[in-house]
A and B are shown apart, each in its own frame.
Chain A
Amino acid sequence: MKVLAAVKRVIDYNVKIRVKPDHSDVDLTNVKMAMNPFCEIAVEEAVRLKERGVATEVVAVTVGPKAAQEQLRTALALGADRAIHVETDERIESLGAAKALAKLVEEEQPGLVILGKQAIDTDNNQTGQMLAALTGLPQGTFASEVVVEGGKLKVTREIDGGLQTIELSLPAIVTTDLRLNEPRYAKLPDIMKAKKKPMDVKTPADLGVEVASKVKLLKVEPPAERQGGVKVGSVDELVDKLKNEAKVIS
């Protein structure tokens, strides 16, 4: 079966972000960008399914600005066979992305779509679930294990109290949690080869979808700074401070 893996271009997770002085948004100028970590896990899982003979083809997809082709090339270097870029400069949130992806699902008819559980910029954790709703397919969110057997998909999910295992009919939508796998690194020869793999560029208009976010972003502020604390010299002093100054223990 064909597997679609969705990726997103985001600020690298190690970067300490800055809010723009006019509080309109986060400052993205000259900031290191990368593939969202959860998307790396999604691509890795798709490639492993291919290596196990479950998937026949892996298609990497993204919705975003022209520069997001870098992340698609990364996915190709990691083992995806081809890529589809839905190019737009609009500010996109989950619903718009899900609508574009739903059209690609209609066109490509994959047996499985794998996305990350959340993007580390918007922290929404919505797109996979919305895609499942729009395509009418079942969803296996926050997956830490995915097994295809007997035409069904067994998904182990990370839930608040532990783990839950569900079985889904195929085709299905899966979103990845951190512990699904350990993504590999792209090797130089693979990065070179990825340059020759096919990349299809479309616009939201080609797909007949509206992707711009309808939710207005009024303001972005830095969070309240915590007051710098003190270093204590001993456990005695620590216990004394907690009892008598902070009064959090008795």
Chain B
Amino acid sequence: MSILVLAEHHDGALAGATAHVVAAAQQIGGDIDVLVAGENVAAIAESAAKLDGVSKVRVADNAAYAHLLAEPTAALIAELAGDYSHVLAVASTTGKNVLPRVAALKDVAQISEIIAVESADTFKRPIYAGNAIATVQSEDAPKVITVRTTGFDAVAEGGSAAIEAVDLSFTKGADNAQSTFIKEELAQSDRPELGAAKVVISGGRGMGNGENFKLLDGIADKLGAAIGASRAAVDAGFVPNDMQVGQTGKIVAPDLYIAVGISGAIQHLAGMKDSKVIVAINKDEEAPIFQVADYGLVADLFEAIPELEQQL
């Protein structure tokens, strides 16, 4: 068996999420190759080569793969996939965009967002917003899989895998007439990334407006936390949508999750109920969030939050 892992990278750096997917690949067993596709990705390949358990890093460095547009990237992976029993990627917006296209090109099903490896062909994945866990078995070759990073601890960095360029002679280079990258508007933040933060503090509709989200800054600074939001807060325009935690936003599992003014709808719980410790601050003592919270404080957040910030 051999496994191909698509490297996740942003702004010229390997994303930490990749190390979680390599961990999932190790549980499946076999040689693990990492594919680094993009433009000017030499430094990213160097980082990927350091991940424990990686046998080889394959580099597809070409303008056609800049921004990892689905059409050229899926064609590339489908071309390479024949040599592998499994193809894995992070269940990020990149992995979710590209991998199903790869699966269909290979005429195989995809198994989305696995949280556990039972064996090389059997996996666990959440369905119905995480309210049921399905165990599924696939006889496909290759098995195309996206990995929910919160289900696997990242591998360490101590390796030194070989790095080799992928022979791109099968493609006519940037022969992608179907899709063109126009622009990206990325939220600038000095805080840790939501998916990787050890502490997350999230605000919901109870915050009242976008201005009040600043109340969470002080606590986030003191705890080194990322700031998240419920869908209600995003839909109300309080904060941008890349902060959304939930079934259709980001899935987080930090050591500490503080939910402020969040009622705790099924769809939000899907994104955070695997956190180690959950704290809920809400003035409605009937709010469903209290059913999953380890520590609940029934209080007006506008009084409790400044007090909490002071005490930390």
The residues of A with any CB-CB pair to B shorter than 8 Å are 11, 13-14, 16-17, 19, 26, 93-95, 98, 117-118, 120-134, 137-139, 141-142, 144, 154, 157-169, 172, 177-179, 213-223, 226-232, 234-236, 238-239, 241-242, 246, 248-249
User: From DSSP, what is the main secondary structure of chain A's interface residues?
Assistant: mixed
Give the complex CA separation of A16 and B140 in angstroms. Answer: 33
* Beyond A14-B266, A133-B105, A137-B178, 13 additional pairs, beta carbon < 8 A: A94-B110, A123-B112, A141-B96, A158-B241, A161-B10, A163-B185, A164-B183, A165-B184, A222-B132, A231-B285, A246-B276, A246-B277, A249-B256
Q: A123-B129, A159-B93 are in contact. Are A138 and B104 (CB under 8 A)?
A: no
Residue of B nearest to A93 (CB): B109
User: Cβ of B302 < 8 Å from any Cβ of A?
Assistant: no
Q: How many residues on chain B are close to A (CB under 8 Å)?
A: 90
A-B contact pairs, 26 of them (CB 8 A): A11-B128, A26-B127, A95-B104, A95-B108, A129-B100, A129-B101, A130-B101, A133-B104, A137-B178, A138-B179, A142-B93, A144-B241, A159-B242, A160-B10, A160-B92, A160-B195, A160-B250, A165-B184, A214-B140, A215-B111, A218-B135, A220-B134, A227-B294, A230-B295, A231-B296, A235-B311
> Which of B69-77, B158-166, B209-217 faces chain A?
B69-77
User: From DSSP, what is the main secondary structure of chain B's interface residues?
Assistant: mixed
- Do the beta carbons of A17 and B136 come within 8 Å of each other? no
Give the complex CA separation of A142 and B290 in angstroms. Answer: 32
User: Cβ of B103 < 8 Å from any Cβ of A?
Assistant: yes
Cβ-defined partner of B100 (8 Å) among A130, A177, A232, A241 = A130
User: Cβ of B30 < 8 Å from any Cβ of A?
Assistant: no
Q: A214-B109, A220-B132 are in contact. Are A141 and B295 (CB under 8 A)?
A: no
Cβ-defined partner of B292 (8 Å) among A157, A163, A226 = A226
Q: Interface digits, B264-299 against A, CB 8 Å rule (1 contact, 0 not)?
A: 001100000100111100000100001111111111
- Do the beta carbons of A126 and B100 come within 8 Å of each other? yes
User: Cβ of B167 < 8 Å from any Cβ of A?
Assistant: no
Q: What's the least CB distance linking A3 to chain B, in Å?
A: 19
Q: Interface digits, B233-265 against A, CB 8 Å rule (1 contact, 0 not)?
A: 011000011100001101000011000000000
Q: Which residues of A contact B99 (CB under 8 A)?
A: 129
- Do the beta carbons of B295 and A232 come within 8 Å of each other? yes
Q: Which residues of A contact B240 (CB under 8 A)?
A: 162
Give the complex CA separation of A164 and B131 in angstroms. Answer: 31
